Amino acid sequence: MSRTVIVGAGQAGAVAAVKLREFGYNGEIVLIGAEQHPPYERPELSKAYALGQMPFEKLVLLPADKATEQRIEMRLAAPVVAIDRDKQVVRTAEDEIGYDHLILATGGEGRRIPLPDQLADKVHIVRSREDADALGKALAKAATAAIIGGGWLGLEAAATCKSSGINVHLYETAPRLCARVAPEWLSSVLHDIQADNGVALHLGETPEITDDGQIVSASGSITPDVIVLAVGMTANDSLAADAGLRCNDGVLVSENGQSSDPKIFAIGDCARYVHLGNLRRESWQNANQSAEDAARGITGSPRRNAEPDWFWSKQFKHNIQMLGTCTDAQDAVLRVHPKTGAKSCFFLDQGLLVGCIAVDSARDIGMSRGLVAKGQKVDHAKLSDPAIPIRGCVET
């Protein structure tokens, strides 16, 4: 009987195991995780879970009873220490497990910056349940928090910290928020959301953290009780690199997640896609889609239909969603719903709808999804009118 081993019992790993069964895989599935917890979703860790507003059980993707039902063997608290490609085995500290196919779902680690050792107890990076627990406990006793990094994780962390009732300062070296991934319109919206909720924004500033715990920047200094680092992620690719797989801050893979070894796939945050210009995709959607792609590849199932990229973020009472390609190089059309204040910005390339950003307007995202996937030509004037359904803006 064949065996597929999955290293990494997070969201991507759990979805890959379930999808293998869904696509008719009858061999053994062994899911190996370094953490002691069953696979769980991570987006809410730095939000509702850290604030004590969501029980951990609601985050769990693959409880033990479901794994047993699906004939998925879970080995938790068992970090894999090596891959032997010649023998087709993975090794833990206590065991050796053979594989016919291997899926790497090893995720990533939050980047760190040089900090004085004496500040270690103040510094938080949220990647695991334990990280979120530690942040929640620290916020309960804090008066001031500093967020280093103005990307998505930094903004969500700022909202969490502010929602706990403390003062929050956010530092970003770029002149605007989410500058690497968002067009200027969205950066402006995010700025207003954070500022309106009382977060002090320090943009275009590189903070210095002193030995006594002060954060000094062009706009002054503070002494925070909590420091949250949100300065990006590095892929956990050391296992793959040590085994001789092609890596570059992520395992280099093809469209279906296959690595330079045809028996080994990489999915989720640890994968870097060669066909997309060596791009790594760090999102909830990619964790699910890449897991499905690998399962399809192993079972010989037809490839998944391509879908536009989709991402969402919760900040305070606002839900921000981004679909497709949204850049300043494209034509932008704004639609504002007068009754609710919800707004969407549509992005057109030579008249074709290629992206949409919606703020508190999930309906606009839902109605745009199929049009973006097909690259439909739309009427610019109609698209700006909230009285006209989005599908009614398609040019025939």
Kindly give, in sequence order, each residue whose CB lies less than 8 Å from that of residue 367, ignoring residues fewer than 6 positions away: 389, 390, 391
Q: What is the pLDDT of residues 132-169, one digit of tens each?
A: 999 999 999 999 999 999 999 999 999 999 999 999 99
Of the options 3.30.70.100, 3.50.50.60, 3.90.550.10, 3.60.15.10, the CATH number for the domain spanning 112-229: 3.50.50.60
Token couple for 387: 């009285």
The letter for the amino acid at 176 is: R
DSSP per-residue codes, 252-280: EE-TTSB-SSTTEEE-GGGEEEGGGTSEE
DSSP classification of residue 319: E
Instruction: Give the residue among 13, 130, 128 at the shortest CA–CA distance from 74.
Output: 13
CATH superfamily of 3-109+233-299: FAD/NAD(P)-binding domain (3.50.50.60)
Residue 294 has pLDDT above 80, yes or no: yes
Domain with CATH 3.30.390.30 in the chain: 317-393
* Separation of alpha carbons 331 and 348, rounded Å: 5
Give the pLDDT confidence score for residue 213 in this predicted structure. Answer: 85
8 Å CB contact between 151 and 178: yes
Cα–Cα distances (Å) from 31 to 62, 94, 128, 354, in that order, read: 11, 16, 18, 38
Pairing of strands 101-104, 3-7: parallel
Strand order in the sheet with 96-98: 80-84, 89-92, 96-98
* Separation of alpha carbons 33 and 107, rounded Å: 11
Q: Within its chain, how far is the Cα of 339 from the centroid?
A: 32
Q: What is the pTM of this model?
A: 0.92
What is the enclosing helix (H) or strand (E) of 272? strand 271-273
Give the pLDDT confidence score for residue 191 in this predicted structure. Answer: 98
Q: What is the pLDDT of residues 236-274, one digit of tens each?
A: 999 999 999 999 999 999 989 999 999 999 999 999 999
**CATH level 2 (architecture), domain 317-393:** 2-Layer Sandwich (3.30)
Sorting pLDDT into bands at 50, 70 and 90, what band is 283?
Answer: confident
Share of the chain above pLDDT 70, in %: 100
Domain with CATH 3.50.50.60 in the chain: 3-109+233-299, 112-229
Residue 53 has pLDDT above 80, yes or no: yes
User: For the chain, how far is it from start to end, CA to CA, in angstroms?
Assistant: 54
Mean pLDDT of 122-129: 94
